Amino acid sequence: MASNSFQPALPPNLDPDLAAWIQAMPKAELHIHLEGSIQPETLLELARRHGRVHELPSDDLAELRRWFVFRDFPHFVEIYLTISNLLRTPEDFALIVHACGADMAAQNIRYRELTVTPFTHTDLQQKGLTLDDLLEGLEAGRVQARRDFGVEMRWIFDIPRNVSFQGPEQRYDPGPAERTLAYALAGRDYGVIGFGLGGYEVGAPPEPFAHAFRAAKEAGLLSVPHAGETLGPESVWGALDALQADRIGHGVRAMEDPALLTVLRDRAIPLEVNLTSNICLHVYPRLAGHPFPHLDRMGLILTVNSDDPPLFNTDLCREYALLATEFGYGRADLARLARNAFQVSGAPPALKERLLAEFDRWAQQGEL
């Protein structure tokens, strides 16, 4: 059942018993981008499938792995675009979703909410891919992954915020939001449970997107925008007030505003935290200065996530391990955080109940 994909190095000072315990703990992950979850070997397979290996920097897997290692933001974007451009057919999406399922099994991730940006594939990039192609591929991969690995996936469709502001005056164009909304509504029968807003926050505030989020929420989707990553508290306030956020992607820079922290705690709005991503993208210079333990002590509901794991040379098990080695988290606290992710997920009620029961059974038997 294990995937043969490359495993990132765990922190060298991690107790091996704790590493095994983290691996065995049933986990849920709420913040991970499908396009950013692809391993180099899958990318190579896609390139071969389409006769486009020449578009990669190398056809050697070891070389590709080195190319994947995070350097800086422009390099990250270059890899992201290369990946996106090689996702051209329903079968491509089925392949990457199935590979994602194998990775879930290897890490004992029982449930994942994957963010997908349909507008990029169907509108921005001229690949001849339709929404029906995309939904068909996602669904085929999801069904195969459930059958082969017993894992559950749901989708969050997100608006790419930066392409929504056009021209020298950066005027708001509602097109990407309206198209993404239509796609998300059509996707509800295929496991779409959330509506997101992704991309670079600077110059792309949440407020103009309120129209689409209102409609998404009325249709029963969760509002899960990215906010408080590249911008500070004002972006999180906007996500709460204008987008009625049910959870915040990142949100860690709420740390800079005590009034905002109080609101997030009192309204029980969970944050989807991505430690390694925050360091790679320079939200914080060092892990030791990350506000995770402070936000946790403040009583906010936190979840642990990996964002774009192969591109940040991490995975979910490693993110939990970092809490232990950097901040001294022990088993009881790690299990509490893991349970949060099941609890605040957008899983349908019967599934959520089943996943929580499974987690609680493990916790009762496990050595907490």
Catalytic positions are 229
72-79, Cβ contacts within 8 angstroms, sequence gap of 24 or more: 73/281, 76/280, 76/281, 76/308, 76/311, 79/311
Least distance in angstroms from the C-beta of 35 to Zn ion = 11
Nearest-angstrom CA–CA distance, 191 and 189: 6
# residues contacting Zn ion (CB under 5 A): 1
Which of 180, 200, 175 is CA-nearest to residue 117? Answer: 180
Nearer to Zn ion, 116 or 216 (CB): 116
Touching Zn ion, residues 115-144 (CB under 5 A): none
Least distance in angstroms from the C-beta of 32 to Zn ion = 8
Nearer to Zn ion, 42 or 305 (CB): 305
Give the per-residue contact string, 26-45, with Zn ion (x = CB under 5 A; - = no).
--------------------
Least distance in angstroms from the C-beta of 272 to Zn ion = 8
Nearer to Zn ion, 114 or 255 (CB): 114
Strands (E), the chain: 27-33, 109-116, 152-160, 165-166, 171-172, 192-198, 222-223, 226-227, 248-250, 271-273, 302-304
Nearer to Zn ion, 307 or 319 (CB): 307
Tokens of 111: 């449930």
Which of 4, 63, 72, 56 is CA-nearest to residue 312? Answer: 72
Tokens of 30: 């709420």
| Cα–chain center distance at 302 | 14
Nearer to Zn ion, 296 or 307 (CB): 307
Touching Zn ion, residues 296-325 (CB under 5 A): 307
Least distance in angstroms from the C-beta of 208 to Zn ion = 20
Which of 174, 222, 193, 226 is CA-nearest to residue 114? Answer: 193
Least distance in angstroms from the C-beta of 305 to Zn ion = 8
Touching Zn ion, residues 136-195 (CB under 5 A): none
With CB atoms as reference, the residue minimizing the distance to Zn ion is 307
Nearest-angstrom CA–CA distance, 162 and 157: 15
Nearer to Zn ion, 90 or 249 (CB): 249
Give the per-residue contact string, 77-106, with Zn ion (x = CB under 5 A; - = no).
------------------------------
Least distance in angstroms from the C-beta of 198 to Zn ion = 6
Nearest-angstrom CA–CA distance, 175 and 122: 13
Binding site for Zn ion (CB under 5 A): 307
